[in-house]
Amino acid sequence: KAGVTQTPRYLIKTRGQQVTLSCSPISGHRSVSWYQQTPGQGLQFLFEYFSETQRNKGNFPGRFSGRQFSNSRSEMNVSTLELGDSALYLCASSLTGSDTGELFFGEGSRLTVL
């Protein structure tokens, strides 16, 4: 069974640009969550989608957005990139919306903003 797949794995952008990251959950999983990991702030929750609806949102500015498609694949977008957006963005899937916290993580997309 394939795991959570995130693309791209690495990318470099410049300030002011936007970026879209993609996540394919484990087959059959319907919930997708996104986390940002930085050395300074650690792991922070961005948002969670379940059945194409945003179920939870963390404390990030509106520049951070996401969506989920009918096949459960998810994308997150960051607009008007800032240097501080440099981070590892982790996607995690779970089978349903009720298996709280039992997450399967991808290897992440490492974003560098110059």
Partner 1 sequence: AQSVTQPDIHITVSEGASLELRCNYSYGATPYLFWYVQSPGQGLQLLLKYFSGDTLVQGIKGFEAEFKRSQSSFNLRKPSVHWSDAAEYFCAVGALAAGNKLTFGGGTRVLVKP
Q: Which residues bind partner 1 (CB under 8 A)?
A: 4, 31, 33, 35, 42-45, 48, 50, 55-56, 58, 90, 92, 94, 97, 100-108
**Cβ closer to partner 1: 14 or 92?**
92
Beta-sheet strands, E only, within 1-114: 5-7, 10-13, 19-24, 31-38, 42-50, 53-57, 64-68, 74-78, 87-94, 104-105, 109-113
Distances (CA, A) of 77 to 28, 89, 99: 24, 11, 26
CB of 37 to partner 1, least distance (A): 9
Q: How far is the CB of 9 from partner 1 (least distance, A)?
A: 10
Q: How far is the CB of 78 from partner 1 (least distance, A)?
A: 19
Residue number, 80 or 97, with CB nearest to partner 1: 97
Please state the length of the chain: 114
> By C-alpha distance, which of 113, 98, 101 is closest to 43?
101
Closer Cβ to partner 1, 70 or 100, answer by number: 100
Q: Which is nearer to partner 1, 17 or 56 (CB)?
A: 56
Taking the complex as a whole, how short is the minimal distance between the CB of residue 33 and partner 1, in angstroms? Answer: 4
Per the CB < 8 A criterion, the answer to whether 25 and 32 are in contact is yes
